[in-house]
Amino acid sequence: MSPGRARGYTAVEVLLALTVMLISTAGVMSMQKASIQGNLDARKLDVANSIARTWLDRLETDTETWNAQTNNLTFTTWLSTHDTGIFGTPVVFSGPSAFQSPAFDILGRDVAEADPTVAFCTHIKVDTMASNVAGVPVMLRATVLVYWPKELTGTNLGRATPLCSEADVAHFETGNPGTYHMLFATEALGIHQ
């Protein structure tokens, strides 16, 4: 090589450099997609946990009117339905006027079941854990199921319509396992002295 000539890159070297750059860019993009999906899943799990805790707190508050003097659930708001067997299996909860829907939006706020912003649904089951000698429940176990579709908000692929329809959810989950994320929370509810 003569001392006055500058050496440049060959076409092969440039193509190899571009290939390495494209492969590393593709890796970064897929990592970013996984990170975004992980953040979304974690946020939804946090909201679902909050919804379950909210319902358990509502049921716990309801036990304040269930005491040793009356020794029945008649005066309670939600637990009174335990006597009629409504909670015998996990069902869509239908409660008093302020909370008639099992539906919640993406922020965990109560919404009507027909609301287009429904993102989470709840099923509640209450079982008798202990009864007194007369057969009247003195301790109950409340189980709250919160479920939500795995797809991103705004799409309606592979999910029950309406979202909170128990039969449709069971059908979709049976036909396509993994369609929904589910979270269970449970708590013991006892009679107040």
Give the number of domains in the chain: 1
Q: In this model, does residue 16 exceed pLDDT 70?
A: yes
Say whether pTM exceeds 0.75. Answer: no
Tell me whether residue 5 is in a domain: no
Tell me whether residue 185 is in a domain: yes
| Span 61-85, pLDDT tens digits | 888 877 666 666 777 777 766 544 4
Which residues, listed in sequence order, are joined to residue 92 by a DSSP beta bridge?
123
| Span 143-191, pLDDT tens digits | 888 888 886 544 444 455 667 766 666 666 777 777 788 899 999 988 7
- Domain ranges, residue 145: 11-190
Closest C-alpha to 149, from 116, 183, 110, 182:
182
Tell me whether residue 178 is in a domain: yes
With 0-12 / 13-18 / 19 or more C-beta atoms within 10 angstroms meaning exposed / middle / buried, residue 91 is middle
